[in-house]
Amino acid sequence: MTGIIHGDGAIRRDSLYGSSIENTYAGVLSFMRRNYTRDLSGVDVAVSGIPLDLATTFRSGARQGPQAVRAASVQLAELKPFPWGFDPFDDLAVIDYGDCWFDAHNPLTIKPAIVEHARTILASGAKMLTFGGDHFVTYPLLIAHAEKYGKPLSLLHFDAHCDTWADDNPDSLNHGTMFYKAVKDGLIDPATSAQVGIRTWNDDFMGLDMLFAPWVHENGVEATIARIKERIGDKPVYLTFDIDCLDPAFAPGTGTPVPGGLTSAQALAIIRGLGELNIVGADVVEVAPSFDQSEITAIAAAHIACDILCLLRNRKLAGKL
């Protein structure tokens, strides 16, 4: 198919590149109208969802997060993203791979199913941008990414919660213990990892660099970016963004909201300043649309994801993807 496509580019576009003209209120709701496909040939980034919320410790509902983020991305697909001023899909081949399938009625099969989902995508050479689901999904994603890129990875973690509470049961489903397990398993290196926006307490933060929310507020965006870069350098880093890193005023639609968080402006500015990082994978998790107001949480998540794609587009043009 040649020429400009008007409507449903997600299922009508032949090329992996370029954008279509869509009515924002209509059409197939892939993320930013990218091709809905399982064909990974020539793909730079595969977007997918993991609709899991069986690991939550408070409010469930994040299983509907992937679809909410896709729906919230329609405006982003209409214009060139701000402040970038370019269409990332002119240069970056991005698809929407759909959602990871798992049997929710057999919990012990869920982690292996997510690992295999990630292995399939990563084996093609594509990078992953994943939507949760609750934050447990990052643990099996880290297993697959560490296999692909080598142990240990660096971790850049945006959250209200450190998620390093002790848990030595290898089969537990808990969205507050994944990074305890990841450190214990050697998947991530605490000495080259950072957690941003944290405002809950743990007696043992396991050696990760803690950029608590009050520190970010007091020192500002530029100091935060500088500290992240100093900590991680050019090491392969997995970026995970729990939407409850944002203050509930900016992200009410989440399972465990905590006051005192980052603003949307702060979070987006920090993400946009991370172009020098060697991001090998990323996720945005814990959007729970049943608790949202006017989609503001899902819209924030979609913008964060779009900015990550713009970072990867620039890395590709610099020959560093």
14 is annotated as contributing to ligand binding: no
Comparing CA positions, the residue from 245, 314, 321, 241 lying closest to residue 279 is: 321
Half-sphere exposure of 270 (CA within 13 A, CB side): 30
Q: Is 175 annotated as a binding residue?
A: no
117 in a labelled binding site: no
185 is in an annotated binding site: no
Low-confidence stretches of the chain (pLDDT beneath 70): 1-2
State yes or no: 134 annotated in a binding site: no
Can you give the pLDDT at residue 2? Answer: 53
244 is in an annotated binding site: yes
pLDDT digits (tens, 9 = 90+) for 209-245: 999 999 999 999 999 999 999 999 999 999 999 999 9
**What pLDDT sits at residue 3?**
73
Pick the CATH number of 43-60+97-318 from 3.10.20.30, 3.40.800.10, 3.40.50.20, 3.30.1490.20: 3.40.800.10
| pTM (two decimals) | 0.97
Say how many CA atoms lie within 13 Å of 14 toward its Cβ: 4
Query: How many whole angstroms separate alpha carbon 298 and alpha carbon 301?
Result: 5
3-class SS string, 85-130: CCCHHHCCCEEEEEECCCCCCCHHHHHHHHHHHHHHHHHCCCEEEE
Q: Which residues pair with 278 in a beta bridge?
A: 236
Domain-wise residue ranges, the chain: 43-60+97-318
DSSP code at position 38: S
Provide the residue type at 86 as one letter: F
